[in-house]
């Protein structure tokens, strides 16, 4: 293979790699701030039914929220444990009775579905009187979940017509949904900030080592290249 083929193949792989590192949609300004904002919104609207069983409440302290705030704003008053995973407020048996299926644990939902999907799902509810809950969803037809965000985001018909405006402007509302998704993205992989903090040091150290290794290799291999000019390669070291 020619050098050019190699270069273009490498460039292609790098481009694909970079595409995945970049955040998928412009609304996701993923940071500790948006994750905490999302956690507050989640506690307010979603924690009634959904657990985030793998994520312990005290994890949020590492993102800069005080224990007192976590207890007040995130933990529900039903005796949730600061050191344990996030629990729903509602009794699972009750929820199962009302919705037909238990509301799932959302810990891994972003990893399983992708953040774009969750965002689209949360913003794709429409009013459908034929459904027991009165709600349906374009992305997930016949979802058991009602549009609990409708009072803020507005109620839409299936053709997209606005039936009843929400309390928030569309811009603020979409920003808030994106924050909830940011929180769930963090919840699905809480190593992300740690990874991104140490990543540059690890890569930097490896690049440095590789550079030294390259110089060492070049030094040794001078013999091999010189051998063609009649010089002798360094022989095996006698033990």
Partner 1 sequence: MSRFGDWLNERFPAREMMREHMTEYYAPKNFNIFYYTGSLLLLMIFLQLISGFLLMAHYVPTSQGAFDSVQGIMYDTRWGWLIRYMHVDGVSLIFILLYLHIGRGMLYGSYRKPRELLWIIGYLIYIMMMGEAFFGYVLPFGNLSYWAGQVITSIIHAVPFVGPGLTTLARGGPGVGSATLQRFLALHAVLWFLIIAALIVMHVLALHQVGSNNPDGIEIKQHKGPDGHPVDGIPFHPYYTVKDIFGVGVWLIIFAAIIFYAPTMHGVFLERTTFFRANPMVALPDVTPPWYLAPYYAMLRAIPNKYFGIALMGLAISLPFFLPWLDRNPVRSARYRPVYRMMIIIMAITFFTLAWVGEQPPLPKYFIIERLGAVIYVGFYLLLPIISSIEPTRKVPERVQS
Footprint of partner 1 (CB under 8 A): 6, 17, 20-21, 54-56, 59, 107-109, 111-114, 188-191, 194-196, 198-199, 202-203, 206-207, 209-210, 213-214, 216-217, 220-221, 223-224, 233-237, 239
Find the shortest distance in angstroms from Cβ 168 to partner 1: 31
Number of other CB atoms surrounding residue 73 within 10 Å:
14
Contact 73, 38 (CB under 8 A): no
CB of 95 or CB of 149, closer to partner 1: 95
Number of other CB atoms surrounding residue 100 within 10 Å:
10
CB of 18 or CB of 171, closer to partner 1: 18
CB of 17 or CB of 159, closer to partner 1: 17
Long-range (24+ apart) CB contacts under 8 A made by 71-77 are 73/40, 73/43, 74/39, 74/40, 74/43, 74/47, 75/43, 76/43, 76/47
Contact 221, 231 (CB under 8 A): no
Find the shortest distance in angstroms from Cβ 135 to partner 1: 23
Find the shortest distance in angstroms from Cβ 138 to partner 1: 20
CB of 170 or CB of 204, closer to partner 1: 204
Tokens 């022989």 sit on residue: 235
List phi, psi (to 5°) of 70.
-60, -45
Rounded distance between C-alpha atoms, residue 125 and residue 52, angstroms: 22
Find the shortest distance in angstroms from Cβ 106 to partner 1: 11
Find the shortest distance in angstroms from Cβ 151 to partner 1: 31
CB of 37 or CB of 55, closer to partner 1: 55
């Amino acid at each position: 293979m020619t050098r050019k083929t190699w270069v273009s193949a490498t460039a292609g792989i790098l481009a694909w790699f970079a595409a995945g590192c970049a955040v998928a949609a412009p609304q996701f300004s993923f940071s500790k701030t948006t994750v905490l904002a999302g956690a507050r919104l989640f506690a307010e609207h979603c924690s009634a039914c959904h657990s985030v069983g793998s994520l312990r409440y005290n994890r949020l302290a590492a993102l800069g929220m005080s224990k007192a705030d976590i207890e007040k704003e995130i933990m529900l008053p039903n005796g949730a444990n600061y050191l344990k995973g996030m629990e729903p407020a509602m009794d699972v048996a009750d929820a199962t009775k009302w919705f037909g299926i238990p509301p799932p644990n959302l810990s891994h939902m972003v990893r399983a579905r992708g953040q774009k999907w969750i965002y689209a799902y949360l913003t794709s509810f429409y009013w459908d009187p034929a459904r027991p809950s009165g709600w349906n969803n374009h992305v997930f037809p016949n979802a058991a979940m009602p549009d609990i965000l409708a009072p803020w985001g507005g109620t839409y018909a299936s053709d997209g017509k606005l039936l009843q405006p929400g309390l928030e402007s569309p811009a603020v509302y979409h920003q808030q949904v994106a924050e909830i998704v940011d929180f769930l993205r963090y919840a699905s992989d809480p190593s992300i900030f740690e990874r991104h903090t140490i990543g540059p040091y690890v890569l930097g150290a490896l690049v440095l080592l590789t550079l030294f290794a390259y110089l060492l290799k070049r030094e040794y291999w001078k013999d091999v290249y010189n051998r063609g000019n009649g010089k002798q390669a360094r022989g095996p070291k006698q033990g």
